[in-house]
Structure formats: structure tokens, C-alpha cells
Amino acid sequence: MSNHIHLIISRKEHVEQLSDIVRDFKKFTSSKIIRSIEENRNESRRNWMLWLFNSAGKKNSNNSNYQFWRQDNHAEQLLSNKFMTQKLDYIHRNPVESRLVEEPEAYLYSSARDYAGQVGLLSISLIA
């Protein structure tokens, strides 16, 4: 999706809490994205995007400069295979419902490509 992301993630029992993983993911990706925008002088929306992220950052005392990600998330524990399959289908159908593509596997940034036997952009572990 162009304005949000859906993830199914897991952790090993001896590894950090999922909330720590999400926090670190947001921190890492936001700093990389902001840096990329700052360095791309040919991007016509560069100043507008930086102003937008800076304005959002000023509204939140947890930030020193920019805010890229929203502070909240909608985490749900996937406690059954049926619920996990429902969520995976929802994620794969999201770009179709948004009318970005006609078929889930046509969305370049979706794991639906992997489930359809194509090669996706990232290495994933297939589930159920």
C-alpha cells in the first residue's frame, strides 16, 4: 500500500518482545526514508514531504525532528491457523480493494507474489 504497511511477524521465545521489534523497525525505516528524501534533490515533493514530517514531529514530544510513522499500530495475535489465514488473505487483497491492481500477486510489494509461485522483492517464510 502507498500509505501504510501490513506485516505478519513472529519472534523466537528468547528474542525481544514484538513491541520492541515493531519499535526498532519503525525507527530504522523512518531514518532511512527521511535520509533518502533529504538527499534526493531531484524529488519535486522533497520540501513538502520534509515539512509534513517535521510538522507531525513537532506535535509529538517523543520526536526530536521528524515523525514518519504513526505512533499507534493495530497488532493482533494470530492464535489459530484460521485467523492467520484470514489476516494473510486480507493483507493480500488490500491492494485489490484499493483498486491499485486487479489481482493480489500483481502488487509488486506484496508477499502474494510468493504465494502465487512468483519471486517477491523480499525473502519471506510462507505460512499455512
Q: Which three cell numbers stand for residue 59?
A: 506535535
Q: Which of 8-22, 32-46, 67-81 has the highest mean pLDDT?
A: 32-46
pTM over 0.85: no
Domain edge (last residue) among 49, 73, 97: 73
Same domain, 64 and 100: no
**How many domains does the chain contain in total?**
2
Query: What would the pLDDT profile of 55-81 be if each residue is shown by its tens digit?
Result: 989 888 877 789 999 888 888 888 899
Is the pLDDT reported for residue 1 higher than 60?
no
Average of per-residue pLDDT values in the chain: 89
d(CA 5, CA 34): 17
Same domain, 66 and 97: no
Is the pLDDT reported for residue 8 higher than 60?
yes
d(CA 44, CA 9): 35
Q: Which helix (H) or strand (E) holds 20?
A: helix 18-39
DSSP secondary structure letters along 98-124? TTS-SSGGGSTT-THHHHTTS--SS--
Range of 92's domain? 76-128
Same domain, 56 and 94: no
The reported pLDDT for the residue numbered 70 is 86
d(CA 115, CA 102): 16
Confidence grade of residue 32 (pLDDT, cut at 50, 70, 90)? very high
Same domain, 69 and 88: no
